[in-house]
């Protein structure tokens, strides 16, 4: 009997020890779960406190400083749009470095990529100022000059319209410089060349304030296929004028023009009537027309004409694409009043006029 008790004691001890270990593990797991619950509840409390503080702060601004409140809300909403576009930009940048093609992306993705790549420098003041204590006090400085300090993410519709009108004035003034450059190129073409005669007729119509048809522009496409019209062969001054007319960076005009080409190609996959009022408005501004004095049907017709043009253009006609804003936009009826206010009326120069300035 004694021997049986002695034999069974180690078994009992081992059972007790295993049970104790099991209880220890259970207690440890419970403590971990309790710790996780406490930490998650702490995070939730911090988030809720921050949200309540933010709401109270915005209510205070809205009640006492409505203008600052409006600026603050534009920044908060703009940050969300910027995050979306920045994510698209970084994803596309990574993909393009590993052999991705611009032609595979949608128009919205290409527009986001274009704005971030061209206007990265404008994002610096917004990011720096919003990170400062009492940043709301500095916002009036940014919103006083939205065209200089802000991207479209942070602008109201009225502010962006004002900025786009200023850009259009800038474009129209440079259109005259592009026409001077183009006329000089035409004068150097062989006199027997058929496209020279058509180019002369186009220049005459532009001088008289008449509009140009797509079919007429396509008749001079071979001029832009010449190696002298390859981007790296176009004189710097001429290239600079084209960049200003198309809102492109002078040092990156070739790359920026390629992005714009695929944006327009993506646009051409549908009709202008499929665009929202807002999309149609900004697209007209981009391509040299003033939508603020145009009906929706006029805007649709203008962009459809641009689509007709882009459908006939390929990557060998990149310089021709850059001239599209000049040929279609300069004499467009929507720009007549603006040109009058700016005193713009293009007159063709000739060697005869240069030799005899009194004529």
Q: What is the per-residue pLDDT for 173? A: 95
Query: What average pLDDT does range 269-273 have in this prediction?
Result: 89
Residue 126: closest CA among 111, 143, 102: 143
pLDDT at 245 over 80: yes
Q: What is the per-residue pLDDT for 36? A: 53
pTM, full prediction: 0.80
Average pLDDT taken over every residue of the chain: 84
User: Quick one: pLDDT band at residue 40, thresholds 50, 70, 90?
Assistant: low
Q: What is the per-residue pLDDT for 316? A: 82
User: Quick one: pLDDT band at residue 358, thresholds 50, 70, 90?
Assistant: very low
Give the H/E segment covering residue 10.
helix 2-64
Query: What average pLDDT does range 329-347 have in this prediction?
Result: 95
What is the C-alpha to C-alpha distance for residues 330 and 68, in angstroms, rounded to an integer?
39
DSSP 3-state assignment of 13?
helix
pLDDT at 22 over 60: no
Q: What is the per-residue pLDDT for 12? A: 41
Tokens of 84: 């979306």
Q: Maximum distance among all alpha carbons in the chain?
A: 137
pLDDT at 314 over 90: no
pLDDT at 182 over 90: yes
User: Quick one: pLDDT band at residue 4, thresholds 50, 70, 90?
Assistant: very low
Which H, E and C letters describe 22-60, residue by residue?
HHHHHHHHHHHHHHHHHHHHHHHHHHHHHHHHHHHHHHH
pLDDT at 146 over 50: yes
User: Quick one: pLDDT band at residue 98, thresholds 50, 70, 90?
Assistant: very high
Say which residue, 350 or 95, is predicted with more confidence: 95
The burial class, CB within 10 Å (0-12 / 13-18 / 19+), for 146 is buried
What is the C-alpha to C-alpha distance for residues 137 and 150, in angstroms, rounded to an integer?
16
């Amino acid at each position: 009997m004694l021997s049986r008790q002695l034999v069974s004691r180690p078994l009992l001890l081992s059972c007790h020890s295993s049970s104790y270990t099991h209880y220890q593990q259970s207690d440890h797991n419970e403590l971990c779960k309790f710790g996780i619950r406490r930490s998650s509840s702490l995070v939730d409390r911090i988030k809720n406190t921050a949200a309540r503080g933010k709401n109270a702060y915005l209510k205070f601004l809205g009640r006492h400083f409505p203008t600052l409140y409006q600026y603050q809300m534009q920044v908060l909403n703009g940050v969300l749009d910027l995050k979306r576009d920045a994510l698209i930009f970084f994803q596309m940048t990574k993909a393009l470095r590993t052999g991705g093609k611009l032609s595979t992306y949608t128009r919205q993705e290409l527009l986001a990529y274009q704005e971030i790549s061209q206007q990265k420098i404008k994002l610096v003041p917004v990011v720096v100022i919003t990170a400062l204590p009492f940043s709301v006090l500095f916002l009036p400085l940014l919103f006083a000059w939205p065209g200089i300090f802000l991207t479209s993410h942070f602008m109201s519709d009225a502010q962006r319209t004002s900025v786009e009108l200023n850009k259009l004035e800038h474009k129209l003034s440079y259109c005259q410089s592009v026409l001077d450059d183009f006329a000089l190129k035409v004068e150097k073409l062989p006199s027997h060349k058929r496209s020279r005669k058509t180019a002369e007729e186009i220049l005459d119509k532009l001088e008289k304030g008449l509009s140009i048809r797509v079919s007429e522009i396509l008749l001079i496409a071979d001029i832009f296929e010449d190696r002298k019209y390859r981007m790296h062969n176009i004189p710097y001054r001429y290239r600079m004028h084209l960049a200003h007319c198309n809102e492109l960076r002078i040092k990156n005009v070739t790359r920026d023009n390629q992005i714009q080409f695929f944006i327009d190609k993506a646009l051409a996959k549908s009709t202008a009537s499929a665009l929202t009022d807002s999309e149609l408005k900004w697209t007209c501004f981009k391509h040299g027309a003033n939508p603020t004095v145009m009906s929706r049907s006029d805007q649709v017709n203008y962009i459809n004409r641009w689509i007709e043009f882009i459908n006939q253009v390929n990557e060998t006609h990149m310089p021709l694409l850059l001239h599209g804003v000049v040929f279609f936009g300069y004499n467009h009826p929507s720009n007549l009043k603006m040109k009058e206010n700016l005193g713009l009326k293009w007159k063709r120069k000739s060697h005869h006029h240069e030799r005899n300035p009194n004529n």
